[in-house]
Structure 1
Amino acid sequence: MTTFNERLPSATEFIQVPKPGRLRRIFAFPNPVNEFAARFTAGIVVFLALVAVITGQTWLVGLIAAGFVLRLAFGPRISPAALLSVNVLAPLLGEPRLVPGPPKRFAQGIGVVLSAAAFVLLLAGASLAGWTLIVLLVVAASLEAFIGLCLGCAIFGVLQRRGIIPAGICEECAKFSVQTV
């Protein structure tokens, strides 16, 4: 006789998308990812966010949030910033430098949370809180764009080593440490 707990799917089964199928192709995220393209995209985010902060243009924060949502959901196939980075800017640097995709997708998710929360706060009139989140986003995206330190990827690695994210999601990531940056 099986117990209730034996019939529950594992954490990995909840996270993984079924292998075949049209839905998976639509919501696919590349693995591996060209680090140069990711860094250029982060640079575009830095530029747009700084323009938004300097000019006080809330709609730009909405545009940044929309870009993060598109990249999180569809990878670089639909986001204008990612398309520019992948197809035009990154090839200028030559051969791609490939890095694991799951941490980059996790980082995009953090970007969605920060930028969407900032946009909602700005629309609600909580300007200081909204712009503070955008400044935090600028800091994180600047680290990625200018020195190649992806904070979302580092957080992903820590969560994976602690067992919160299953090791099977990205075995290479489980070995990540600050020394390997």
Structure 2
Amino acid sequence: MFSFPNPVNEVAARVVAAGVVLLSVVTIAADLPWLTAVIAYGFLARVAAGPRFSPLGLLATRVIAPRLGEPKPVPGPPKRFAQAMGAAMSLAALVLVIVGATTAAYIVLGGLAAAAFLEAAFALCLGCKIFALGMRLGLVPEEVCAECNDIWARAGAA
């Protein structure tokens, strides 16, 4: 029940990222700080169990992504790490909202929206890039993502 998919459909991941952008922009533009809790819940749910308990994850994987063409499988561990980074940022924003620092919370959400936009629009996953750096530096054991090793070995050989 509490596991993360591997592989992940990159199409669905990009749809989720677009949803995060939308929710973050609405939160900031409409000055609805309570939506920060919704964003944080979504990230925590996706880190814990993939899309299983995330309304946005379910919408992306079961409704939208299947209508956008063939799935594009990518390794799951880097995507989970990226979701964990989103969880940390959205929880930080939520804490800021709770203590009354709404402007600071919106700045954090703006950074989160920017990172999610890069994923949604260009398939540029900043969390995945940091995960790759962690593997290259030996901070992430190779067995965490054997597929990643194969992908990066092929990319280095090209």
Taking the TM superposition and a 5 Å limit, the aligned residue runs for 1:11-160 are 26-160=1-135
Higher relative contact order (CA 8 A, sep 6+): 2
Amino acid at match of 2:5: P
Q: Does 1:161 align with 2:128?
A: no
Q: Structure 2: which 5+ residue stretches go unaligned?
A: none
Alignment root-mean-square deviation, CA: 1.5
- Contact 1:154 1:176 survives alignment (8 Å): no
Q: How many residues align?
A: 154
- Provide the TM-score with structure 2 as the length reference: 0.93
Higher helix share: 2
CA distance 1:109–1:49, change in 2 (3 Å): same
Alpha-carbon distance, 1:92 to partner: 0.9
What is the aligned-residue identity percentage? 49
Amino acid at match of 2:39: I
Whole-angstrom CA distance in 1 between matches of 2:103 and 2:134: 30
Amino acid at match of 2:64: L
Amino acid at match of 2:116: A
Q: Deviations over 1:102-134 (max 9, x none)?
A: 000000100100001001111101223211110
Higher Cα Rg, which structure: 1
- Provide the TM-score with structure 1 as the length reference: 0.81
- Contact 1:118 1:130 survives alignment (8 Å): yes
Whole-angstrom CA distance in 2 between matches of 1:58 and 1:46: 15
